[in-house]
Amino acid sequence: MTATTPHNPRLDLLQPYPFERLRALTAGITPNAQLRPISLGIGEPKHPAPQLVEDAIRAHLKGLSSYPATAGEPRLREAICGWVARRYGLALDAATQVLPCNGSREALFALAQTVIDPGRPGATVVCPNPFYQIYEGAALLAGAQTAFANSDPARNFAADWSQIDAATWARTQLVYVCSPGNPTGAVMPLAEWRQLFELSDRHGFVIASDECYSEIYFRDGEDAAPLSGLQAAARLGRGDFRNLIAFTSLSKRSNVPGMRSGFVAGDAQWIRRFLLYRTYHGSAMSPVFQAASIAAWNDEAHVVANREQYRAKFAAVTPPLARVLDVALPDAGFYLWAGVPGGDDVAFAQGLLAQYNVGVLPGSLLAREAHGVNPGAGRIRLALVAEQAECLEAAERIVAFTESFTSSL
C-alpha cells in the first residue's frame, strides 16, 4: 500500500483563478477567424514602460552581483516617502513606516500570513465582493475564513460594509479594502473610512488598503485624485495610522508590471512585524529594480502622460458602449464594469468571443455567492489596456454583438 503524500490541506480550499475558469468555459469555442483577436479580459498594462526606468535598469546592472536587503535601500524608501509627500501631503518616516515590496500582489498575500492568528475561534477576513482573488487565497492559506461585503449598484458599486453583522466583525482580524476598486472602479469616500476605522478600533482588526489603481482617474479639480487610506486616517486624526497598511504599485502607475515593484506604508508597529515575516520569506527586491523604482517614484511627467492616454480611451469607448450596455465612467482605474442584456454574463462572453473574437471577463467569476446573490453576475469587466484604436475596434464589435444578442433574447 502506497502512503499518501502529505500536503497543506488548506490548498484544497482554493478555488480556480477566474482566468482558469474562463478558459474552461471557452475551451470548446472557435473564435471568428475572420477577425483578429482582441483581449479586454486581463488587466495587464500595455502602454510602453517609461524610458527613464529602462535607462535606470541598464545603468545599474552591476546590482545583480549583490544580495538586496529586505528593507530596501534607504534611497528607495526616501523616494517613496517623497512621492507620498507630493501626492498626499503626508510626512512618513522612511525608516519605520514604509517597506518596498515585489508588487502589491505578493504583499497583499503575505500580510495576511503576518496578521492572522488561526488559533483564535472563527478567525475571519472581510473582503469586498467582487474582489481581487488574492484576498480570498491569502485568508484561506492563513487559516481564516472569509466574509464578503457585496458591491452596491446604488453607490457606484462601492462595497456595502453594513452587510457584515456585529458577530462577524467581532471575529474579524483583517479587512481588505480596494479603492479604487477592481473591477468596479469605485473610490471610498471619507465617511466610509471613518466607519471602518471606528470598527477597527472596536474590534482590533487590521485594514489592508489596496490602492494600486490610484493614479488612473478621469476627473479634474481639487478632489479628482482618489483618496488614500493614509490621507483619510490623517484627516480623521489618526496620524499614527494605527492598524492601517496601504499598498501601492508601479505596475499601473508606470506601466512596469514585469518589474514587480511597489510598497506598503502605514502603522509602524505592523511594518516592523511585516519586515520580520518578509526577512524569512525571502522577498527582497533586486538592487536593479530598486534603482529603477527610485527613478519612477521621483518622476511624475510619465504618470500624467499615462493618465491622459487612459482618459482619451475611456472618452472614446464609453459613449458607444453606453448605448447598448449598462455602463458608465468609473471613479478611477482602467476597467469598465458593464451590465449585459439578459443578465447572463457567461453566455454573453462566450458569444462575443465566438462571433466577434473579443475576450472579456464575466463578472460572476470575480465574485462569490454572498447574502443570497452573486454581485458580479450579469456584468462583464472590460480592461481598456491596449492602444486606443484597438479598444475602439473592440467597442465597435461589442456594440454589433450586443445588438444581435439583444434581438435574440
Q: Where in the chain is the domain with CATH 3.90.1150.10?
A: 10-48+302-407
Q: Of all helices (H) and strands (E), which one includes residue 397?
A: helix 388-407
Question: Burial, 301: exposed, middle or buried (Cβ in 10 Å; 0-12, 13-18, 19+)?
Answer: exposed
Tell me the mean pLDDT in the region 299-310. Answer: 98
pLDDT at 408: 81
Q: What is the mean pLDDT of residues 58-83?
A: 97
> In whole numbers, what is the pLDDT of the chain averaged over residues?
96
* Contacts of 365 by beta carbon, 8 Å cutoff, 6+ apart: 18, 21, 22, 346, 376
- Mean local confidence (pLDDT), 155-179: 96
Where in the sequence of the chain do the CATH 3.40.640.10 domains occur?
62-299
- Residue 5, pLDDT score: 83
Pairing of strands 158-159, 145-152: antiparallel
C-alpha cell, 222: 481639487
Q: What pLDDT is recorded for position 40? A: 97
Residue 130 predicted with pLDDT over 90? yes
* Percent of the chain clearing pLDDT 90 (strictly above): 95
Residue 244's pLDDT band (boundaries 50, 70, 90)?
Answer: very high
- The alpha carbon of residue 230 and the mean position of all alpha carbons in its chain are separated, in whole angstroms, by 17
Average pLDDT over residues 82-98: 98
pLDDT tens track for 203-243: 999 999 999 999 999 988 888 999 999 999 999 999 999 99
- Mean pLDDT value across residues 294-313: 98
- In this prediction, residue 407 carries a pLDDT of 81
Nearest residue to 182 (alpha-carbon basis) of 223, 210, 207: 210
How large is the average pLDDT for residues 67-80?
97
CATH superfamily of 10-48+302-407: Aspartate Aminotransferase, domain 1 (3.90.1150.10)
pLDDT band at 1 (very low <50, low <70, confident <90, very high): low
Residue 116 backbone class (left: φ over 0; alpha: ψ -120 to 50; beta: rest): beta
pLDDT tens, position by position, 6-53:
899 999 999 999 999 999 999 999 999 999 999 999 999 999 999 999
- For residue 4, the model assigns a pLDDT of 74
Predicted pLDDT of residue 97: 98
In the chain, the percentage of residues whose pLDDT exceeds 70 is: 99
Q: Which of 375, 322, 370 is nearest to 151 (CA)?
A: 375
pLDDT in tens, 313-363: 999 999 999 999 999 999 999 999 999 999 999 999 999 999 999 999 999
Q: Which CATH class is domain 62-299?
A: alpha beta
* Prediction pTM value: 0.96
